[in-house]
Structure 1
């Protein structure tokens, strides 16, 4: 097999190992961003060899719209429009008092923060472009990269837990010492990797059962079950409340990759959202759930999520309709904190990606988000109800949905590791079966022409 077939999986694995921090690991992330720029050039070098359908083209347009939204941060505005949000008027007055002049009057308050945020997105964008435009990858290799990172993270987490807070294998200065974090800075983000490994393992089992040799099917099934048990054990030990809450639904959805019955999947479209909504309501609205959240927050030194959300919503109101600018959360949020309630913990994110994006991008980001959500929902339902869909397409749908739900109570997409998984998951949802399930005959050069889309 040509070495170029491994470039994308190897880059994904590098993202999972090196890209585990949102505001740390600058050298490691710099390496990923540099390699990502090379990968983007490689993806754009030759005409696309991958078939494109309407869903893939729509995803490409959504990516283009996201890039344009970032560029919007550098557009100069008339003074009257720039000062329209109340929060900007206050900032201008405070700046004038200390000799700081906001000039030029750009859409984003801090353009250098917008640049930093844009650069942070390079690994995910590189993977998406490479997968959409190049034929040089195999979905099973991507799944193995996720599973390998999961196994290594669980082992590393066991070492961290065994050695205690002084363990030398905590790789970030700001991290959840005393907890299992693996290659991440945040234990919740390790939980995201453990969760998305479940559909990847199920897809690999389904693939092997379909195209593998008879003598290896039973041993591979046993190995796959062992990997699932390992991932679930990692989730239990990790202690993330979101990981615990999502483990059951994600495991049930992953099992349906192996039992693709349309009747079960139709029922799950109603049952699983109800279970998730009930679990989140219990966690956020009951005293028992609040106590669990408080316990997790004390362990991670992040303060109360509810208080962070309330404070963020107050900031959102002052910065609509323009938003404060991409990447400005850490600069804007402290202005709205109650001095009497400030703790030693550093609040670097809103622990809700949707609130944080609303604060930073204002109403300009809302149409793009609504369009993306409509695109994702349509493709999820199309894949989920199609018994002939590739197991890797179904795994991508489950993984991306898991990350979207986890983003309600955290910020996993702010890391290169999780954003890369998210990007590849979206691509797996739109590429046709010929790209997503290669049989032994296909690998030997004999083509297959499936009749149904994924």
Structure 2
């Protein structure tokens, strides 16, 4: 969550995360791997995700890859150097697909590892997510106070906005939203803590700080998704028995959140808030022509796809001349369209498979681990935020968000030991 927010333009940071994951896997295998048991449906789903880029990297004879849709330009380029009859993989850029595979493995491993945790460890995970999100909000305050170049972790970053540990404000806002849900679930997950009057104001203060940070990212989708976070926050807090004071604080928090949504429009004289309000004018949004050209590229590559991580190479030949600009698009700003371009017919199959697996696992966990229901609501809310934001952005292309989403998927499983395990672990 700290080093995985740079995206593909900063491969050095991603390599650190990947190497760190290798070390974590070795430690986990030695410490818990022997006794840990990953639920079989989740095991198969993760294996299917990893298998996709591996299949796309398998060398194919010329008679097969040349017959794939969308390979005309690749064939013409290879013919210039006399390599048109060489064996080639399905991916039009094997190096980028390999990079996509290496970035995918930590997320899948995180999903599997979290699914083996017990109740106490899952609650500690929530607290960790919330605290890192809060630390990101603190870093974001320093970024805004220090100027456009202050405290930016990455060379390519959204200047003038709160980005926390990320290069992209849209990724930052996802972490802040999910962090607010994590605090709510952590607080509500312990009856003693939920009834403690001294802790409720602290949690409320953390939520208010995260709310201000969400607003200062300037992310339109993220600010709109605040309503989703509030809805799941209500479900989480009212799933447990909370006192009247806590309910009053929740009402106050909701009022503050709704008031914050209106501040940029009411106080337009403030330059920073005025910029936030101006961003909600989507009449000139470049996403619409970008989506049109992406659909054209999808039609060209058809059922085969172009290979995981190859969006830029597959998209640029199909970019409309009237929409050319100084900046070259590196993403489709719609993860579903981008996945369809890169994976072809396997994209909808994997999306449906993942939805079915997570739904069935969540349904089972809800019955077998009722003491973890607030944790499961947190995971549902967080995944809903990521899924909805993926319509207009690409949160899962960010390693920090991908691993965070994977952790939430792992929480949609019965905790280790079930309801009996809680007494043993908490006692």
Tell me the TM-score range normalised by the shorter chain: 0.7 to 0.9
1:408-450: per-residue Cα shift (whole Å, max 9, x none)? Answer: 11111111110111011001001337569986x6446x4xxxx
1:194-246: per-residue Cα shift (whole Å, max 9, x none)? Answer: 111122111111123x14496xx111111111111111111112111111111
Give distance in 2, aligned partners of 1:235 and 1:294.
23
Contact residue 43 and residue 129 of structure 1 kept, 8 A = no
Give distance in 2, aligned partners of 1:398 and 1:201.
13
Give distance in 2, aligned partners of 1:436 and 1:111.
47
Give distance in 1, aligned partners of 2:420 and 2:125.
12
Give distance in 1, aligned partners of 2:352 and 2:157.
33
Offset of residue 134 of structure 1: 6.2
Structure 1 runs not aligned, ≥5 long: 1-15, 262-287, 298-303, 447-454
Give distance in 2, aligned partners of 1:312 and 1:427.
32
1:202 and 2:179 matched:
no
Equivalent residue number for residue 202 of structure 2: 223
Give distance in 2, aligned partners of 1:179 and 1:78.
49
Contact residue 39 and residue 130 of structure 1 kept, 8 A = no
Give distance in 2, aligned partners of 1:416 and 1:102.
37
Give distance in 2, aligned partners of 1:308 and 1:132.
37
Offset of residue 389 of structure 1: 4.5
Offset of residue 316 of structure 1: 0.6
Q: Which of 397, 403, 414 is the aligned partner of 1:431?
A: 414
Cα distance, 1:384–1:213 mapped onto 2, change above 3 Å: closer
User: 5 Å matches for 1:312-323?
Assistant: 312-323=294-305
Give distance in 1, aligned partners of 2:362 and 2:119.
25
Give distance in 2, aligned partners of 1:64 and 1:393.
23
Give distance in 2, aligned partners of 1:136 and 1:257.
16
Equivalent residue number for residue 388 of structure 2: 405
Offset of residue 130 of structure 1: 2.4
What SS does the corresponding residue of 1:259 show, helix, strand or coil? helix
User: 5 Å matches for 1:235-314?
Assistant: 235-260=214-239, 292-293=281-282, 304-314=286-296
1:81 and 2:60 matched:
no
User: 5 Å matches for 1:6-405?
Assistant: 16-45=1-30, 47-50=33-36, 56-97=39-80, 101=84, 103-133=86-116, 138-167=121-150, 169-208=151-190, 210-212=191-193, 217-260=196-239, 292-293=281-282, 304-380=286-362, 389-405=372-388
Cα distance, 1:99–1:173 mapped onto 2, change above 3 Å: farther
Offset of residue 80 of structure 1: 3.9
More deviation, 100-109/22-31: 100-109
Equivalent residue number for residue 267 of structure 2: none
Structure 2 runs not aligned, ≥5 long: 241-276
Per the normalisation by structure 1, the TM-score is 0.78
Give distance in 1, aligned partners of 2:29 and 2:350.
24
1:65-93: per-residue Cα shift (whole Å, max 9, x none)? Answer: 11221210122334343233442123312
Cα distance, 1:314–1:437 mapped onto 2, change above 3 Å: farther
CA RMSD of aligned residues (A): 2.9
Cα distance, 1:235–1:134 mapped onto 2, change above 3 Å: closer
